[in-house]
């Protein structure tokens, strides 16, 4: 992908998406979201008794004059929310990695231009930090160059291990976008439950290759797992091929149910869809936290 994500043509497509995002979503993309912490923010939250050492400027003098009560005003603190982009770089993503990085580039570009804090992580059998959290338009080029360096080289995707490592390194709640085929040997339920338990907003983008959905080889086959390297020789019948397609459908339906039960946004598509069409669909649905399941 060297040079593909920093080419003038690709940047023009990103800028078009950014302008559309600003028009469609407006302030909903802003990084500063109200937390439940109390401090010296802007929006009034509550009163509290005044104690020696409190900032006297927070005293509500009208309340004192009317009720003879010495109270201070509490305000909601505005905190930055980090957008964590988790891109699956296991070997099963070989045919899908270019599209995954294009989507990550678009989401990161939009977020950075709206003053969001963005971090990038490679996701395999462990989490590999690729770009530390940062904000500002100057970070765009670093993000794009980092995504251009992505390689599908990891072992089996261990989503739960990656989720735990993300939380251990970034305790503050954030928006976690997982871009993957979700072909995880240990499943996805525990990992997604862990991320929501940790307080993160989670969005899943399932990216598939059309070849993932059906089995076209019949007869004697020598099969090698692209991620583990394990080898098996099998004889595949049409019944086996039908059961494979059914198993894939059940796996993907399970992901849909899992996300629905945990109120996690989910979009599912395949590599035939252009990256800007994928992101445009998300924008039209109201952004990541409002997106519903879609297969394109």
Residue 87 has pLDDT above 50, yes or no: yes
- What tens digit of pLDDT does each residue of 142-187 get? 999 999 999 998 778 899 999 999 999 998 889 999 999 999 988 9
- What tens digit of pLDDT does each residue of 183-222 get? 998 899 999 999 999 999 999 999 999 998 888 888 888 8
Mean pLDDT, to the nearest integer, of 110-139?
A: 93
The whole-number pLDDT of residue 34 equals: 41
Beta strands across the sheet bearing 265-270: 127-135, 117-123, 82-88, 174-180, 201-208, 265-270
Distance (Å, rounded) from C-alpha 163 to C-alpha 181? 16
Comparing C-alpha atoms, which of 171, 205, 210 is closest to residue 188?
205
The length of the chain is 296
- The torsion defined by the Cα of 278, 283, 284 and 287, in degrees rounded to 10, comes to 120
Residue 31 has pLDDT above 60, yes or no: no
pLDDT over 90 percentage in the chain: 55
Residue 36 has pLDDT above 90, yes or no: no
More confident residue, 234 or 286: 234
Would you kindly state where each structural domain of the chain is located, as residue ranges?
A: 8-31+81-284, 35-79
More confident residue, 214 or 227: 214
Q: CA 88, 91, 93 angle in degrees (round to 5)?
A: 50
> Which of the given ranges, 20-24, 129-133, 282-286, has the highest pLDDT on average?
129-133
Q: Are 76 and 43 in contact (CB under 8 A)?
A: yes
Q: Which long-range contacts (CB under 8 A, 24 or more apart) does 232-241 make?
A: 240/215, 241/214, 241/215, 241/216
Q: Where is average pLDDT lowest: 31-40, 143-152, 188-197, 258-267? A: 31-40
DSSP 38-83: EEEEEEEEEEEE--TTS-GGGB-HHHHHHH---EEEEEEEEEE-EE
The whole-number pLDDT of residue 288 equals: 65
Burial of 174 (0-12, 13-18, 19+ CB in 10 A): buried
Residue 20 has pLDDT above 90, yes or no: no
User: Could you tell me the fold of the domain covering 8-31+81-284?
Assistant: Rossmann fold (3.40.50)
Q: Please give the model's pTM, rounded to 2 decimal places.
A: 0.80
């Amino acid at each position: 992908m060297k040079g593909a994500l920093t080419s003038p043509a690709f940047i023009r497509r990103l800028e078009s998406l950014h302008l559309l995002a600003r028009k469609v979503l407006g302030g909903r993309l802003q990084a500063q979201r109200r937390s439940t912490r109390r401090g010296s923010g802007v929006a009034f939250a509550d009163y509290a008794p005044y104690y020696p050492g409190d900032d006297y400027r927070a005293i509500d003098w009208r309340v004192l004059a009317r009720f003879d009560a010495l109270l201070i005003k509490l305000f909601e603190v505005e905190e930055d929310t980090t957008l964590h982009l988790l891109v699956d770089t296991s070997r099963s993503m070989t045919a899908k990695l270019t599209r995954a990085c294009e989507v990550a580039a678009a989401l990161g570009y939009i977020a950075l231009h709206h003053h969001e804090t963005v971090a990038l992580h490679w996701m395999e059998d462990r989490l590999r930090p690729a770009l530390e959290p940062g904000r500002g338009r100057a970070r765009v080029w670093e993000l794009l160059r980092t995504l251009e360096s992505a390689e599908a080289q990891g072992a089996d995707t261990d989503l739960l291990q990656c989720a735990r490592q993300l939380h251990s390194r970034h305790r503050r709640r954030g928006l976690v976008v997982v871009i993957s085929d979700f072909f995880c040997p240990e499943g996805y339920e525990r990992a997604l439950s862990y991320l929501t338990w940790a307080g993160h907003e989670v969005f899943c983008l399932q990216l598939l290759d059309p070849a993932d959905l059906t089995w076209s080889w019949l007869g004697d086959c020598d099969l090698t797992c692209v991620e583990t390297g394990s080898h098996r020789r099998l004889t595949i019948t049409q019944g086996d091929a039908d059961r494979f397609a059914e198993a894939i459908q059940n796996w993907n339906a399970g992901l849909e149910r899992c996300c629905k039960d945990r109120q996690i946004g989910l979009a599912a598509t395949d590599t035939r869809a252009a990256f800007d069409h994928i992101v445009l669909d998300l924008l039209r649905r109201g952004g990541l936290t409002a997106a519903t399941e879609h297969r394109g």
